[in-house]
Amino acid sequence: MSVLTSLDLSTARNLVWKSLCLGGLISLLAWPALAGESTYINVVVEIAPVPRGVDIYESAGSLNLFGAAAIPADFFDPGSAPFTGIVDLTGLYLGDRGPFEMGTTDTVVHRHVEANLADAPSSTQIEVEIVELSLVSTAPINVIVAGQPQDWNIFVTLNTDLPLPVGQMVINRVDPSNGDYGLTIPIEPRLVFERQGEIRVLLPGQELLAGAMGSWSVNSPCATDPLNVPRFPIGPCMSGLNLSSSMLDLNLVPPTVDLSRPPPSLIEPGAIIDPDVASIGRDAVIFSGAQIGPGVVIGPRAFVGADTFVGANALVAEDANLAEGARVGDNAIVGAFGQLGLFSTLDVNSQVGQNCQVANNVAIGTDTTLHGNCVVEDGAAIGNGVTAELGVHVESNSTVQDGLYLYLDAIVPAFSVLTEDLIPCEVGGVTVSTETPTDCDLLGGESFGLIPGLADASSLDAPTSGVVAKTPLNPGNLPAELQNLAADVNGVDSRDGTTKVKDRVWTATTYDCDDFADDMEKGLTGKGYDATFTCYWEVVPNSNHSWYNWLWTSPIKLTKGHAIADVHANNGDIIWIEPQNGLVGVTKIINSTDNLDDDGDGKVEYATSSGSKKTDGDYRIEVWPSRAAAEKAGRRFD
Segment 518-550, tens digit of pLDDT: 999 999 999 999 999 999 888 877 888 899 998
Q: How confident is the model at residue 176, as a pLDDT?
A: 80
Q: How confident is the model at residue 457, as a pLDDT?
A: 43
Chain center to CA of 377: 29
Angle at alpha carbon of residue 315, lines to 267 and 550, rounded to 5°: 140
Rounded Cα distance between 190 and 156, Å, is: 6
User: 3-class SS at 202?
Assistant: strand
CA distances from 597 to 272, 562, 603 (A): 58, 15, 6
Angle at alpha carbon of residue 99, lines to 94 and 100, rounded to 5°: 50
H helix runs in 246-361, sequence order: none
CA torsion, points 110, 112, 117, 122, in degrees to nearest 10? -80
Q: Provide the CB-side half-sphere exposure for 300 (13 A, CA).
A: 12
Q: Is 553 exposed, middle or buried (0-12, 13-18, 19+ CB in 10 A)?
A: buried
Q: How confident is the model at residue 632, as a pLDDT?
A: 84
Q: Provide the CB-side half-sphere exposure for 37 (13 A, CA).
A: 9
The domain locations on the chain are 2-46, 53-253, 303-442, 468-632
Counting as low any pLDDT under 70, the low residues of the chain are 1-49, 219-220, 424, 429, 431, 435-438, 441, 446-466, 508-509, 557-560, 587-594, 638
The continuous run of DSSP H or E covering 5 comes out as strand 2-8
Rounded Cα distance between 155 and 21, Å, is: 32
Chain center to CA of 357: 23
Nearest Cα to Cα of residue 292 among 96, 305, 300, 301: 305
Q: How confident is the model at residue 303, as a pLDDT?
A: 98
Enumerate residues 6+ apart whose C-beta is below 8 A from 235: 50, 51, 53, 54, 55, 111
Angle at alpha carbon of residue 335, lines to 331 and 338, rounded to 5°: 125
Rounded Cα distance between 216 and 159, Å, is: 30
Identity at 486, one-letter amino acid code: A
> How far does the chain reach from its first CA to its final CA, in angstroms?
36
Q: Provide the CB-side half-sphere exposure for 425 (13 A, CA).
A: 20
Radius of gyration, alpha carbons of the chain: 28
Go through the chain and tell me how many residues it has: 638
Rounded Cα distance between 32 and 35, Å, is: 9
Enumerate residues 6+ apart whose C-beta is below 8 A from 138: 88, 89, 90
DSSP tag of 372: S
Identity at 307, one-letter amino acid code: D
The answer to whether 104 touches 304, Cβ cutoff 8 Å, is no
The reply to whether omega before 121 is within 30° of 0 (cis) is yes
Q: How confident is the model at residue 26, as a pLDDT?
A: 33
CATH of domain 303-442: 2.160.10.10
Residues 50-72 pLDDT 10s:
778 899 999 999 999 988 788 99
CA torsion, points 61, 67, 70, 74, in degrees to nearest 10? 180
Enumerate residues 6+ apart whose C-beta is below 8 A from 570: 479, 481
The answer to whether 190 touches 173, Cβ cutoff 8 Å, is no
DSSP tag of 379: T
